[in-house]
Amino acid sequence: ELVLKVRIQNPSLRENDFIEIELDRQELTYKELLRVSCCELGVNPEHVEKIRKLPNTVLRKDKDVARLQDFQELELVLTVSDKNFLFRVPTLSEGSGYNKKASELTY
């Protein structure tokens, strides 16, 4: 297996950690990389504009994927202009630790 580190490219996120994925070395294709990455990150493959090998190389074809080495860092760059729908942050009232009464200060 080839182990890669992937994440969704989103500089507005405070924490944008990588996850590790495994690809079968017998199936090192761009299509398989896209499929596994999207499955693990919960992204629709149709929303991926490109896959970037960090820091600045775009993966375009199977030969590019075949050259990847263990623990290389990749980012999925999404096509959707409003990325917020993928990372919906609950409002304060939806959060489990929010107490409306405690938030109302009286002087």
6: domain CATH number is: 3.10.20.90
7 located within any domain = yes
Q: What is the reported pLDDT for 14?
A: 72
Q: What is the reported pLDDT for 11?
A: 72
Provide the CA 67 distance to its chain's centre, in angstroms: 21
95 located within any domain = no
22 located within any domain = yes
**Which tokens in the block code for residue 34?**
């896209």
Tell me how many domains the chain contains.
1
Q: Encode pLDDT of 19-43 as tens digits.
A: 999 999 999 999 999 999 999 999 9
107 located within any domain = no
What's this model's pTM, rounded to 2 decimal places? Answer: 0.71
Say how many C-beta atoms besides its own lie within 10 A of residue 48's C-beta: 19
Which residue did the predictor score with more confidence, 3 or 93? 3
31 located within any domain = yes
Q: What is the reported pLDDT for 15?
A: 74
Q: Encode pLDDT of 55-98 as tens digits.
A: 999 999 999 999 999 999 999 999 865 544 454 444 444 444 44
49 located within any domain = yes
Half-sphere exposure of residue 10: CA atoms within 13 angstroms, side-chain side:
22
66 located within any domain = yes
24 located within any domain = yes
Three-state SS at 103: helix
Q: Indicate if the pLDDT at residue 103 is higher than 50.
A: no
Q: Provide the domain limits for residue 24.
A: 2-78
